[in-house]
């Protein structure tokens, strides 16, 4: 079993109650315009359920990393977009907590919604200040955490407030726990983990967790060069992370002793520099010459990984296979993304850049689950305790 048994908003009696929902509405903004509203859409099912059931709903979230009350990071555009999507008035409160906010909250009726202002305008948010948590709790009767992507942080709106009110999981959070929980605890076999991206040190915990548990771990992206370096190979000018090399040495030794296949690239695409116009060369092998950087896995590696993904019972993918943002180095990530999209097994993708790659290739809705949490999804599958989740009582 997946071990998921958190109190759920489905079972909560919310009619006539004021409900505080923590969303992860930290959307990308350019010149005050939202460039991707996926995180806003992701929280809609919970808000719709609460409205249908007669709650008055207050929504809170952080946005960016403001220093003080930076108007450029107001949640106004998020409230406007939420309003459009819900077909409802979605006013913005003058802050996160306090008398003025409470006065507005008290006027809300059944089915009404109110956006609270950026939680990081309050210095107490990231400090998990108990006074701030109490201030939030004073606004509502019930707390719903629907911010999986923020649940690895012990902040006032993710953790502190959950101890001050009856707390439960929202629908998005519930889905995240069930999809990632299946990967972590009860995967259909064989389980194939695909890891890429830039930093080994971010992902070494995932390798540790799955060595001896997964059938196969396929490594691509820049992180493979820390592993190659640990094997004593030439890595040229490839991105190598010094602390990653030490971790990779340990991982290689652990892999020797485990039944898990740790698969590394057999060929590469090289460039002179990280630029779309750079000179490009295919390398049949992995010893990168001086003056070159490994920027993508090669075609044979991609075909091998695609074959393994196709026969997996479960695939968990985190991190692109190369510098996919640049056309000459996108093929490996594209091939892996297509393989994951076509795979008959249970497919789960975590990670901001892997999700962006899937979206760019038009494949985002072809996987079983695209997690809304990057760091949080990694910590969850590693088996670490996420403070925001720990604070929600079991069902």
| Contact between 159 and Mg ion per CB under 5 A | no
Q: Which does 249 bind (CB under 5 to 8 A by kind): ligand ADP, Mg ion, none?
A: none
Which among 16-24, 138-146, 258-266, 314-322 is the span making contact with ligand ADP, rule CB under 6 A?
314-322
136 token code pair:
């939030």
124 closest CA partner among 78, 159, 148: 159
| Contact between 265 and ligand ADP per CB under 6 A | no
Q: Where are the beta strands (DSSP E) in the chain?
A: 18-23, 29-30, 33-34, 56-60, 113-115, 142-146, 167-169, 191-195, 216-219, 261-263, 268-271, 280-283, 293-297, 314-318, 346-350, 369-370
Neighbours of 41 (CB within 10 A): 13
Can you tell me which of 222, 240, 247, 386 binds ligand ADP, judged by CB under 6 A?
A: 222
CB of 144 closer than 8 Å to CB of 9: yes
Can you tell me which of 199, 249, 272, 366 binds ligand ADP, judged by CB under 6 A?
A: 199
- Kindly state the smallest distance separating residue 162's Cβ from ligand ADP, in Å: 27
Q: What residues contact residue 249 under an 8 Å CB cut-off, 6+ apart?
A: 230
Q: Hunting for tokens 């630029």 — which residue is that?
A: 275
Neighbours of 259 (CB within 10 A): 10
Can you tell me which of 117, 216, 241, 353 binds Mg ion, judged by CB under 5 A?
A: 353
| Contact between 319 and ligand ADP per CB under 6 A | yes
26 closest CA partner among 153, 143, 132, 130: 153
Indicate which residues carry an active-site annotation.
39, 199, 352, 375
| Contact between 221 and ligand ADP per CB under 6 A | yes
Which among 81-89, 97-105, 127-135, 191-199 is the span making contact with ligand ADP, rule CB under 6 A?
191-199
C-alpha distances (whole Å) from 370 to each of 150, 172, 281, 323 are 16, 11, 33, 20
| Contact between 351 and ligand ADP per CB under 6 A | yes
Nearer to ligand ADP, 320 or 388 (CB): 320
- Kindly state the smallest distance separating residue 365's Cβ from ligand ADP, in Å: 18
Which among 265-273, 276-284, 325-333, 347-355 is the span making contact with Mg ion, rule CB under 5 A?
347-355
Which among 105-113, 334-342, 353-361, 380-388 is the span making contact with Mg ion, rule CB under 5 A?
353-361
Residue 284, SS3 per DSSP: coil
| Contact between 325 and ligand ADP per CB under 6 A | yes
Instruction: For Cα atoms 313, 317, 319, give the angle at the middle one, nearest 5 degrees.
Output: 165
Q: Which does 208 bind (CB under 5 to 8 A by kind): ligand ADP, Mg ion, none?
A: none
Q: How far apart are the first and last CA of the chain?
A: 15
Binders in 241-260 for ligand ADP, by CB under 6 A: none
CA–CA separation, 103 and 99 (whole Å): 6
56 closest CA partner among 86, 92, 19: 19
C-alpha distances (whole Å) from 91 to each of 58, 78, 112, 353 are 10, 10, 10, 32
- Kindly state the smallest distance separating residue 383's Cβ from Mg ion, in Å: 21
Number of residues that bind Mg ion (CB under 5 A): 2
| Contact between 196 and Mg ion per CB under 5 A | no
Nearer to ligand ADP, 93 or 337 (CB): 337
Q: Which does 319 bind (CB under 5 to 8 A by kind): Mg ion, ligand ADP, none?
A: ligand ADP
Q: Which does 124 bind (CB under 5 to 8 A by kind): Mg ion, ligand ADP, none?
A: none
- Kindly state the smallest distance separating residue 125's Cβ from Mg ion, in Å: 23
Binding interface with ligand ADP (CB under 6 A): 196-199, 202, 221-222, 239, 294-295, 318-320, 322-323, 325, 351-354, 374
């Amino acid at each position: 079993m997946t071990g998921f048994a958190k109190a759920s908003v489905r079972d909560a009696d919310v009619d006539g109650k004021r409900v505080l929902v923590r969303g992860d509405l930290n959307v990308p903004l350019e010149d005050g315009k939202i460039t991707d509203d996926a995180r806003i859409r992701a929280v809609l099912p919970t808000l719709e359920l609460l409205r249908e059931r007669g709650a008055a709903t207050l929504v809170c979230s952080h946005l960016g990393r403001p220093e003080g009350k930076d108007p450029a990071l107001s949640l106004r555009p998020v409230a406007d977009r939420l309003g459009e999507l819900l077909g409802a008035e979605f006013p913005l409160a003058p802050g996160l907590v306090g008398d003025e906010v409470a006065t507005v909250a008290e006027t809300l009726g059944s089915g009404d919604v109110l956006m609270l202002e950026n939680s990081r305008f309050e210095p107490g948010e990231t400090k998990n200040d108990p006074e701030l948590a109490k201030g939030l709790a004073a606004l509502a009767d019930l707390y719903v955490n629907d911010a999986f992507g923020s649940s690895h942080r012990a902040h006032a709106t993710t953790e502190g407030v959950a101890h001050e009110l009856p707390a439960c999981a929202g629908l998005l959070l519930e889905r995240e726990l069930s999809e990632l929980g299946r990967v972590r605890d009860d995967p259909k076999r064989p389980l194939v983990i695909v890891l890429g991206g830039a930093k080994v040190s971010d992902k070494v915990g995932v390798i540790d967790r799955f060595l001896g548990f997964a059938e196969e771990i396929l490594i691509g992206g820049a992180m493979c060069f820390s592993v190659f370096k640990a094997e004593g190979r030439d890595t040229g000018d490839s991105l190598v992370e010094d602390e990653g090399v030490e971790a990779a040495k340990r991982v290689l030794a652990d892999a020797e002793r485990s039944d898990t296949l740790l698969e590394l690239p057999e060929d590469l695409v090289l460039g002179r520099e990280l630029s779309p116009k750079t000179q490009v060369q295919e390398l049949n092998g992995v010893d990168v010459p001086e003056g070159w950087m490994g920027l993508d896995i090669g075609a044979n590696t991609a075909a091998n990984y695609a074959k393994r993904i196709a026969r997996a019972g479960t695939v968990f993918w985190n991190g692109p296979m190369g510098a996919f943002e640049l056309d000459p180095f996108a093929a490996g990530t594209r091939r892996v993304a297509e393989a994951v999209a076509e795979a008959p097994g249970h497919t789960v993708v975590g990670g901001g850049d892997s999700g962006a790659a899937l979206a760019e290739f038009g494949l985002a809705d072809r996987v079983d689950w695209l997690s809304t949490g990057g760091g949080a999804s990694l910590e969850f599958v590693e088996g670490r305790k996420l403070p925001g989740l720990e604070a929600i009582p079991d069902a």
